Structure 1
Amino acid sequence: MSWRESRFMQVVWTVIRVYIGWEWLSAGISKTFGASAAAWVGPNAGAAVTGFLQGALTKTGGQHPDVSWWYASFIQNIALPNAKVFGYVIAWGELLVGLGLILGCFTTIALLAAVFLNMSYLLAGAVSTNPMLLFWEALLLWAGAAAYYWGVDRILIPQWKKRRLKQGIA
């Protein structure tokens, strides 16, 4: 057993995982059920995404732009025309990532989704807490199974493996 899989580190990974999960869950709840929900998933779905992305497009100029030309092209040609869809995906995605991390359920999938969301925000020029969260998410991915030892995955994954072996699927 390596040091990253020790009981002490399993507790450390769990605390970090739950903290990151809380950050995502609270962001997702505010977008899905909070005061600004109408701009994300309600009657004006897409309004918040449109505002954010238009702000990102203003960061594409100058000698050292915060948003790369290729990401600006993605924003203009794909994200903005589909802002309503992106609003739902972001709001519910953040909520589900948070639940997955707090419960330790589908942990690796939740961490990969969190990394994807953070990278998307960073590429759009939003810094905030994203670099710190991205660091901890990458560290939890590196920790592997120790990151979800204290979670639902600890129970589910052996069951799935057992079922797959019974069915002859390796």
Structure 2
Amino acid sequence: MIHTFLRENVYAAGLLLLLRLYVGWEWLTAGYHKLMDGFDAKGFLTGAISKPVTDQGGELIYPNFTAFLEHFALPNVKLINILIPLGEVLIGLGFIVGALTAAAAFFGLLMNFMFMFAGTVSTNPWLILLGGLIMIAGANGGRLGVDYYAAPFVRKLFHKNSFHGAKQQS
């Protein structure tokens, strides 16, 4: 019932617009400040590696993520320093204008979970909850935005280039 409401109801689209604007603003301002003030993830990554999330017995809870940080993220910190702020700005813009809303929600959730795996709570659970609702809403999440106008074009483009469309043409 709630799933149908979120995905199809025009009133839900209005509520999702408000959620999108709030979540988008949070992402946009976080990324903007990182871009303008300078951002260096090296200290955060080093701390996340040296003090990873463990259980009460000292056992690593996310050993694969800690290995990812140690063997990929930290050696490529210059790339991470670009990707995180740029990703935050793009996610924020996607939410605010309602363009590629479901994709923005997906990548927002991915970044929030990455931050939580590294041991940072902050606003991440709240943004996961709100971003999850927007992602569950699918196309209705961007109904009052650019997605409303872009969706028919994208559907036509994918239908034309799909195997099914190619089969009909022959």
The count of aligned residue pairs is: 158
Structure 1 residue 133: Cα displacement: 0.4
2:116 paired with 1:113: no
| CA-to-aligned-CA distance 1:95-146 (integer Å, 9 cap, x gap) | 0110011000011111111011011101000000001101111111111121
3-state SS, counterpart of residue 125 of structure 1: coil
Moved over 4 A (4+): 64-67
Q: TM-score, structure 2 length as denominator? A: 0.84
Q: Which residue of 2 aligns with 1:30?
A: 33
Measure the CA separation in 1 of the matches of 2:79 and 2:146: 30
Q: Which residue of 2 aligns with 1:90?
A: 84
Q: Which residue of 2 aligns with 1:3?
A: 5
Q: Which residue of 2 aligns with 1:43?
A: none
Judged with a 3 Å threshold, the aligned counterparts in structure 2 of structure 1 residues 162 and 51 are, in CA distance, closer, same or farther, namely same
- The one-letter amino acid of 2:47's match is G
Correspondence list, 1:6-155, <5 A: 6-33=9-36, 35=37, 37=38, 40=39, 48-60=40-52, 63=57, 68-155=62-149
The gaps in structure 2 that reach 5 residues or longer are 166-170
The gaps in structure 1 that reach 5 residues or longer are 41-47
- The one-letter amino acid of 1:54's match is T
Structure 1 residue 51: Cα displacement: 0.6
- The one-letter amino acid of 1:27's match is A
2:156 paired with 1:162: yes
Q: Is the 8 A contact 1:67 1:124 kept in 2?
A: no
Q: Taking every aligned residue pair, what percent have the same amino acid on both sides?
A: 34
